[in-house]
């Protein structure tokens, strides 16, 4: 049985990804940070045989290391690593107005955490001669755009693009792929919605006429993790419906 490890997978976009892997027969290790109630709801729904839930702060190296250790112990292997977790400053702030702690949280949570996870996960995948790694970014990250009021987050994710592409080259000989998925403007309840539900909620801000959903992201992630998706690596996949995420906030 294959095993997927998913950070921040108990609610929001991560929840739809977690449930997709469970429905596909995977064992799943998933993390949460603060919302214990949602984590427990997910555990109650799926039980403990195929689902392990661990409280993890991805900004902390020791938490990342413990996560991988426990994930490996749970299933004996790690076939898929989905790094969905990543802090975000919702307040609109120019770079000079960021506190050092906020900057560190953005870089540690979105970029440095990836380093710590890869240090632990990649050796496991090498031994298996198989692995699927998926990171999350933002629309346009592949081109290193400026994003007003989101400087720290954008800098971390753009750095992660290069890290992802480097991993995809370095680890290809071991049957490991690495890719990035960039969601569009998926807000509120749409994060846990299905595509069918979104078709009944028109969104004039998206060229295709509906909001993106958690299911859109989950379907993309699942494709990238297929055995036969090994030719797709080092790729940034945008799932935006054509919306201009960056410039609409000006």
Whether pLDDT at 244 is above 80: no
Distance spanning both ends of the chain, measured CA to CA: 47
How far apart (Å, rounded) are the C-alpha atoms in residues 221 and 225? 6
Q: Are 68 and 114 in contact (CB under 8 A)?
A: no
Look up residue 11 and give its two tokens: 């609610």
Asked whether residue 187 carries a pLDDT value surpassing 90, the answer given is no
Band (pLDDT 50/70/90 cuts) for residue 186 is: confident
- What stretches of the chain show up as alpha helix (H) in DSSP? 12-23, 36-46, 61-75, 100-107, 113-128, 151-170, 195-198, 214-224
Where do the structural domains in the chain lie, given as residue ranges? 3-249
- Give phi and psi for 127, each to the nearest 5: -65, -35
pLDDT score, position 120: 97
What pLDDT, in 10s, does the model give residues 224-235? 999 999 999 999
Name the token pair of 136: 């999350």
Q: Which of 139, 136, 133 is nearest to 118 (CA)?
A: 133
pLDDT tens digit sequence for 113-162: 999 999 999 999 999 999 999 999 999 999 999 899 999 999 999 999 99
CA 162: distance to chain centroid? Answer: 16
For 3-249, which CATH superfamily applies?
NAD(P)-binding Rossmann-like Domain (3.40.50.720)
Instruction: Compute the average pLDDT of residues 10-25.
Output: 96
**Which of 117-121, 179-183, 203-207, 243-247 is predicted with the least confidence, judged by mean pLDDT?**
243-247
Of residues 32, 58, 178, 167, the one with CA closest to residue 110: 58
pLDDT, residue 249, reads 46
In this predicted structure, the answer to whether residue 247 has a pLDDT above a threshold of 90 is no
- Whether the CB-CB separation of 183 and 134 falls below 8 Å is answered with no
Who has greater pLDDT, 118 or 186?
118
For the chain, give the mean pLDDT.
94
Q: Which structure tokens are listed for 131?
A: 């692995």
Looking at residue 245, what is its pLDDT? 67
pTM: 0.95
Please provide residue 78's backbone torsions phi and psi, each rounded to the nearest 5 degrees: -135, 110
Three-state secondary structure call for residue 55? strand
pLDDT digits (tens, 9 = 90+) for 58-89: 999 999 999 999 999 999 999 999 999 988 88
The predicted-structure confidence for 82-115, as pLDDT tens digits, reads as follows 999 988 888 999 999 999 999 999 999 999 999 9
**pLDDT over 90 percentage in the chain:** 82
DSSP 160-222: HHHHHHHHHHHTGGGTEEEEEEEE-S--GGGGG--HHHHTTSB-TTSTTSB---HHHHHHHHH
Per-residue pLDDT at 248 exceeds 70: no
Poorest-pLDDT segment among 19-28, 106-115, 194-203: 194-203
Q: What is the average pLDDT across 183-191?
A: 88
How many Cα atoms sit within 13 Å of 214 on the Cβ side? 21
């Amino acid at each position: 049985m294959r095993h997927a490890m998913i950070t921040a997978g108990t609610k929001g976009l991560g929840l739809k990804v977690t449930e997709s892997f469970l429905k596909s027969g995977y064992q799943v290790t998933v993390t949460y940070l603060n919302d214990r109630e949602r984590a427990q709801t997910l555990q109650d729904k799926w039980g403990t045989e195929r689902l392990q839930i661990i409280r993890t702060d991805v900004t902390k190296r020791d938490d990342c290391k413990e996560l991988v250790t426990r994930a490996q112990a749970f299933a004996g292997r790690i076939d898929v690593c989905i790094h969905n977790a990543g802090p975000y400053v919702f307040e609109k702030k120019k770079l000079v107005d960021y506190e050092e702690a906020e900057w560190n949280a953005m870089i540690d949570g979105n970029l440095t955490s990836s380093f710590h996870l890869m240090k632990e996960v990649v050796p496991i995948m090498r031994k298996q001669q198989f692995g699927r790694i998926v990171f999350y970014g933002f629309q346009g990250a592949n081109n290193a755009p400026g994003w007003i009021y989101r400087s720290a987050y954008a800098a971390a994710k753009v750095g992660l693009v290069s890290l992802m592409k480097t991993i995809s080259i370095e680890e290809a000989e071991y049957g490991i792929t690495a890719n990035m998925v960039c969601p569009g403007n998926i807000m509120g309840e749409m994060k846990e919605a299905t595509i069918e539900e979104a078709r009944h909620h028109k969104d004039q801000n998206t060229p295709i006429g509906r909001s993106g959903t958690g299911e859109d992201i989950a379907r993309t992630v699942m494709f990238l993790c297929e055995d036969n998706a090994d030719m797709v690596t080092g790729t940034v996949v945008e799932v935006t419906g054509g919306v201009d995420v960056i410039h609409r906030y000006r």
